[in-house]
Structure 1
Amino acid sequence: MDTLLSVSHVSYSYHTLSGETPALSDITFSVKEGEFLSIVGPSGCGKSTLLSLLASLMEPESGTIILRGKPLAPHTANIGYMLQKDHLFEWRTVYRNIVLGLEIQKKMTPAYLHHVNQLMEAYGLWAFRNSRPSELSGGMRQRAALIRTLALDPELLLLDEPFSALDYQTRLTVCDDVRQIIRQEKKTAILVTHDLSEAISMADRVLVLSRRPATIHLDLPTIFEDQTLSPMNRRQAPEFQGYFNQIWKELNHHE
């Protein structure tokens, strides 16, 4: 697989009248095309700051971020960002919510709309296209939010704790749904989460960050003998507990 994203020696600090707060320090990693990467670390360590840099919402103070061989620049990279809340608008139907990004970017072309229809049919939302978001379950709302993100055919998906607002049972089901969709659509994804089980069960690799200013303490491939396992089934696999213990030990070693 070719490298899609390269992050090299990236550092970032927040500046206020009261002083400087370092958030990230010398972050270096890469992501291959089609890979699913999870990022975990202590609360407030800079995970969301890193995602904002990858989304080109902010620029690093030092270091470089390269996407498909070119420096990341605002308004040029095709990156999808899925937030903690689904942000579906109640005054729009499910379909009109999903095509919102296409409307904003003036991409309501037959090709893009055909892609949206295919996604909605493939992932069980076509029958609800004229419904309002309040008529959907929490899991279906997150599926709609993901399809809205995929509608623009992004090169890279950034997922910022997208399941945190769901109850535990729904969260497990939606993890399976989202991982299946991302795998079937052959997308490259980076997930930030506080949930170690979620990180391990969904990802091909897990990055473990230190306390702020964050550095990378561990870059752990999660290799399961059965590559076809869903996130739910991965949690029951014999390899899972070993990865969990290794990450837990790493996080607590640097407390």
Structure 2
Amino acid sequence: MEEIRQPMISMKNVTYSYHSLKGETPALKDVTFDVYEKEFICLVGPSGCGKSTLLSLLAGLIEAESGELISEIKDVGYMLQRDYLLPWRTIYDNVALGLEIQHKKTTENRERLREMLKTYNLADFANKRPSELSGGMRQRAALIRTLALEPDLLLLDEPFSALDYQTRLEVCDDVAEIIRKEGKTAILVTHDLSEAISMGDRVFVLSKRPATILKEIPIRFETENLTPFHRRQAPEFAGYFAVLWEELQKASAG
């Protein structure tokens, strides 16, 4: 008998609103989905629909007003649009910052960091300052800094949006490779449909605010383990793009 997979995260009918002196602003309404171990989930939807609010809920920064959020996650890593590398610290000291803050900079962890820098082609730049690295290399360093704390879940809030197109393609490949090699579960917020198709195992299309999930689209390619760049060249890619574009148009109109 096939073993039934249990989700790492289960969200059921979750609703959330922002409150201010001007009143209430609904952000999420009856959001329901599951996330499984080692999955790469992508969230797309109209601008301002509540995608980042959803990440904040998953990170435990805010609490749902109603509904249920069941999570097996203990540690969450968060990667933002900017790399936030400290300009006066070396790359090694930047990637070690989280360990330093949490008093986990043991000999074992320091060695693991050096191995990660070597594995992901940053060892030769360990003693450089962030200003001496390209945008793509900086984002790679930011991801290693996040992974150094061994999070169960990675939340990626448009981490490639500030990069030029060529660098963005290269970094997508880098990040996808690192996440899969490290065996991590990840959720990516993006406005780029091509990015979602090229990186995700499933794509969730969110409605206008207050956001709910309108459509879940599993992404499957005949050739397995393609890089994001090679997924974009696969014959299935155009079909997925057409479906996602149609769903996003419905979401924006609705």
Select between 130-139 and 58-67 the one with higher mean Cα deviation: 58-67
1:135-214 to 2 correspondence within 5 Å? 135-214=132-211
Aligned residue for 1:3, secondary structure, equals: coil
Kindly state the Cα deviation for residue 247 of structure 1 after the two structures are TM-superposed.
1.1
Q: What CA distance in whole angstroms lies between the structure 2 residues aligned with 1:96 and 1:36?
A: 29
1:24 equivalent among 10, 17, 28? 28
Q: Which residue matches 1:133?
A: 130
* Aligned with residue 15 of structure 1, among 19, 32, 39: 19
Q: In structure 2, what residue type is equivalent to 1:231?
A: P
Q: Distance in 2 between matches of 1:220 and 1:99?
A: 37
Displacement of 1:2 after TM fit?
4.0
Report deviation, 1:88: 0.3
What CA distance in whole angstroms lies between the structure 1 residues aligned with 2:111 and 2:61? Answer: 30
Counterparts of 1:122 and 1:64, CA distance in 2: 40
Secondary structure of the structure 1 residue equivalent to 2:225? coil
- Distance in 2, matches of 1:208 and 1:111, equals 42
> Secondary structure of 2:204's match?
strand
Q: Which runs of 4+ in 1 moved over 4 A?
A: none
SS in 1 for 2:223: coil
Summarize deviations over 1:149-197 as a string: whole Å, max 9, x none: 0000000000000000100110001000000010111100000000000
Q: Which residue number in structure 1 is paired with residue 233 of structure 2?
A: 236
Deviations 1:49-105 (CA, angstroms, capped at 9, x unpaired): 10111111111111222222xxx7xxxx30000000000011100000001001111
The CA distance in 2 between the partners of 1:94 and 1:64, in whole Å, is 40
- Of 230, 237, 253 in structure 1, the residue corresponding to residue 250 of structure 2 is 253
1:33 is matched with 37
Matched residues, number:
248
Residue 85 of structure 2 aligns with which residue? 88
**What's the counterpart of residue 10 of structure 2?**
6
1:114, distance to aligned residue in structure 2 (A):
2.2
**Bigger shift: 191-200 or 236-245?**
236-245
Distance 1:55 1:204 in 2: 21
TM-score, scaled to structure 2: 0.95
The separation in 2 between residues aligned to 1:58 and 1:183, in whole angstroms, is 28
- Residue number in structure 2 paired with 1:114: 111
Is 1:52 paired with 2:56? yes
Distance 2:128 2:203 in 1: 37
CA–CA distance in structure 2, aligned partners of residues 127 and 36 of structure 1:
30
Give the alignment's TM-score, normalised by structure 1: 0.95
CA distance in 1, matches of 2:45, 2:82: 21
Paired residue type of 1:212: R
Shift of the alpha carbon at 1:203? Answer: 0.4
Which of 58, 62, 67 pairs up with 2:66? 62
Aligned twin of 2:215? 218
Structure 2 unaligned regions, length at least 5:
none
SS across alignment from 1:238:
coil
Are 1:79 and 2:76 counterparts? yes
2:64 corresponds to which letter in structure 1? P
Which runs of 5 or more residues in structure 1 are unaligned?
A: none
Deviations 1:99-129 (CA, angstroms, capped at 9, x unpaired): 1001111111122222211111100111111
